[in-house]
């Protein structure tokens, strides 16, 4: 409700700001499922390859991972509020959103690259 209220009087160029709060989940789901498609895996079947799951396995707990996702989301809401409170053109808003998603993709890559087990194919 606070987000809706905060953007109620914002210019229409700020509509894309709504892409910021769910960014952690959109990046993780989008890149994980995209990777499964590229690998030829059955992306619609259950799996445990998301960065969230890999990170929780490494740490042995979901609590710090959930807190990190919450922190990312709070930071994205702060960015959304800051961007929405100023008169910015669409190029500026789009640039900030693109940079945010690129940063999220970089974090996703770093989380995926640290000891995430891969399924070995049979050589028989």
pLDDT per residue as tens digits for the range 17-44 = 888 888 999 999 999 899 889 989 888 8
Q: What value does the mean pLDDT take over residues 96-108?
A: 93
**98-101 — which CB contacts under 8 Å span 24+ positions?**
100/20, 100/23, 100/76, 101/19, 101/23, 101/27
Length of the chain in terms of residues written: 124
Tokens of 35: 């990777």
Residue from 84, 50, 83 nearest 69 by CA:
50
**CA 37 remoteness from chain centre:** 18
pLDDT per residue as tens digits for the range 44-89 = 888 888 888 888 888 888 899 999 999 999 999 999 888 887 777 7
Task: Indicate whether 122 pLDDT > 90.
Answer: no
């Amino acid at each position: 409700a606070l987000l809706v209220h905060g953007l109620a009087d914002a210019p229409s160029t700020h509509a894309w700001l709504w892409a910021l709060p769910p960014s952690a989940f959109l990046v993780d789901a989008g890149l994980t499922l995209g990777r499964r498609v590229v690998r030829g895996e059955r992306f619609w079947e259950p799996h445990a390859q998301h960065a969230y799951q890999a990170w929780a396995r490494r740490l042995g707990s979901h609590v710090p991972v959930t807190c990190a996702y919450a922190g990312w989301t709070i930071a994205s809401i702060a960015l959304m509020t800051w961007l929405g409170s100023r008169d910015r053109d669409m190029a500026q808003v789009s640039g900030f959103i693109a940079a945010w998603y690129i940063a999220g993709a970089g974090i996703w890559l770093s989380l995926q690259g640290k000891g995430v087990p891969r399924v070995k194919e049979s050589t028989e």
